[in-house]
């Protein structure tokens, strides 16, 4: 029977599949599709009605990744992603595309089209300001992660959930790309700007104190099932729009989600604010200096306020929801939140570093066309990244000040 065992859908399959597995469209004659996925891993299509433009999204995972057809990646990642999105639909419905149908056999998800939102990375690289953005992201992290912790859910239920969202294959990608390759240069995987190669190699490969700290962060990433985290919360996973003068966001692509340290998500967001700041400083996107100054001031405040709002919302949530009498203790709660913020600074450092030296770069760095500026930006980010890993408490005090 059609669609009863996994294969990569093509052409009419895509339209027929979506028509058969949703009650959204009236007839399939007027349906067309386009591939809109620009990611590395999966296939994403928009299926829409020619006249009305009513649309849905189909995301399918294949046994290989979209850009590297030579390796195997278990398509069961799709079922996990669907499970996480459904959870977001419950605990943060305004922040996630609605799942219409999830199919573990075809490794496919039919979901709401959030086409009225734009990719946050692209918007920030165009110098756009989104007031309130950091508050929304802090709220999303608190609403989706804290309820899943020992403190929010209780230990036994948490263990069951951690088992359900066990994600060794995708975590291994993060372990390699974030916590190993940038410091060990495994099999020549790192990519350098020639002008910075020697400087970066010395900084990343030869500092055993730095490497020891990164080793501890890797160990924490692997062995601290604190709560359900998104696992890949960079600005390309955040979609944004302004409606009635208010910023709104949607979060997509939680296929790297697993039970890990909440600080990893928070640190990732912080790092990608810093990339946006770096791009604004060193590219020529602004035709006027005042606009540039306003953007830089906004992003500077957004970095601080991300952590501030995280603390406020986390404390509100924990005070209201903790049931375990041992955890109902304000000193413990403050300490729990502070530790997340310190680790977030460290994970921000590992994210900055891996995008400079690693194989998966970010357009805020590769998009700087004037070579002198890129040299400067890479060195500035590497200095910041290493300082964050080596002295997170001190850097956190600086961010708060």
Ligand X SMILES: Nc1ncnc2c1ncn2[C@@H]1O[C@H](COP(=O)(O)OP(=O)(O)OP(=O)(O)O)[C@@H](O)[C@H]1O
Q: Least distance (Å) from ligand X to the CB of residue 54?
A: 13
Say which entry of ligand X, Mg ion, none residue 180 contacts (CB below 5 to 8 A, set by partner kind).
none
Neighbours of 307 (CB within 10 A): 22
Say which entry of Mg ion, ligand X, none residue 114 contacts (CB below 5 to 8 A, set by partner kind).
ligand X
Q: Least distance (Å) from ligand X to the CB of residue 37?
A: 4
Residues 37-76, mask of contacts with Mg ion (x by CB under 5 A)? ----x-----------------------------------
Nearer to ligand X, 149 or 237 (CB): 237
Residues 295-314, mask of contacts with Mg ion (x by CB under 5 A)? --------------------
Asked whether the beta carbons of 341 and 311 are under 8 A apart, the reply is yes
Structure tokens at 74: 């278990």
Residue 49 to residues 29, 56, 74, 182, 292: CA-CA distances in angstroms? Answer: 9, 9, 32, 46, 41
Binding residues (CB under 6 A) for ligand X: these are 36-42, 44, 57, 59, 97, 111-115, 119, 252-253, 255
Q: Least distance (Å) from ligand X to the CB of residue 134?
A: 21
Q: Least distance (Å) from ligand X to the CB of residue 59?
A: 6
Q: Least distance (Å) from ligand X to the CB of residue 197?
A: 27
Nearer to Mg ion, 62 or 253 (CB): 253
Neighbours of 363 (CB within 10 A): 15
User: Closest by alpha carbon to 120, among 265, 242, 291, 292?
Assistant: 242
State how far the Cα of 275 lies from the Cα of 203, in Å rounded to an integer: 20
Q: Least distance (Å) from ligand X to the CB of residue 115?
A: 5
Nearer to Mg ion, 113 or 195 (CB): 113
Nearer to ligand X, 169 or 300 (CB): 169
Nearer to ligand X, 53 or 369 (CB): 53
| 215 half-sphere exposure, CB direction, 13 A CA radius | 8
**Which positions lie near Mg ion, rule CB under 5 A?**
41, 253, 255
């Amino acid at each position: 029977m059609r669609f009863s065992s996994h294969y990569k859908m093509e052409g009419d399959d895509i339209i027929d599949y979506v028509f058969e597995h949703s009650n959204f469209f009236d007839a399939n004659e007027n349906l067309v599709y386009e591939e809109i996925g620009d990611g590395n891993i999966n296939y994403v299509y928009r299926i829409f009605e020619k006249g009305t433009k009513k649309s849905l999204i189909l995301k399918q995972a294949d046994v290989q990744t979209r850009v590297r057809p030579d390796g195997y990646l278990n398509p069961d990642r799709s079922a996990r992603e669907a499970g996480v999105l459904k959870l977001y639909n419950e605990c943060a419905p305004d922040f996630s595309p609605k799942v219409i149908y999830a199919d573990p056999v075809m490794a496919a998800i039919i979901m709401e089209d959030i086409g009225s939102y734009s990719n946050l990375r692209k918007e920030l690289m165009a110098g756009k300001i989104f007031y309130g953005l950091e508050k929304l992201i802090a709220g999303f992290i608190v609403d989706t992660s804290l309820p899943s912790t020992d403190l929010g859910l209780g230990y036994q239920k948490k263990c069951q959930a951690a088992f359900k969202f066990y994600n060794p294959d995708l975590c291994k990608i993060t372990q390699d790309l974030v916590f190993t390759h940038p410091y060990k240069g495994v099999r020549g995987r790192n990519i350098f700007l020639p002008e910075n190669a020697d400087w970066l190699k010395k900084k990343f490969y030869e500092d055993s104190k730095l490497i020891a700290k990164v080793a501890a962060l890797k160990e924490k990433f692997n062995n601290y099932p604190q709560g359900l985290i998104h696992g890949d919360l960079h600005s390309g996973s955040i979609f944004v729009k302004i409606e009635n003068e208010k910023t709104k966001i949607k979060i997509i692509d939680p296929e790297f989600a697993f039970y890990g340290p909440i600080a990893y998500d928070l640190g990732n967001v912080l790092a990608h604010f810093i990339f946006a700041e770096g791009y604004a400083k060193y590219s020529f996107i602004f035709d006027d200096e005042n606009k540039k100054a306003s953007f830089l001031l906004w992003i500077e405040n957004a970095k601080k306020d991300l952590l501030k709002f995280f603390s406020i919302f986390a404390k509100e949530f924990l005070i209201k929801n903790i049931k375990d009498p041992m955890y109902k203790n304000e000193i413990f709660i403050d300490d729990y939140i502070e530790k997340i913020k310190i680790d977030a600074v460290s994970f921000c450092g590992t994210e900055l570093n891996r995008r400079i030296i690693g194989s998966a770069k970010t357009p805020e760095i590769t998009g700087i066309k004037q070579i002198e500026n890129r040299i400067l930006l890479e060195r500035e980010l590497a200095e910041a990244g290493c300082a964050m890993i080596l002295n997170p408490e001190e850097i956190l005090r600086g961010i708060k000040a």
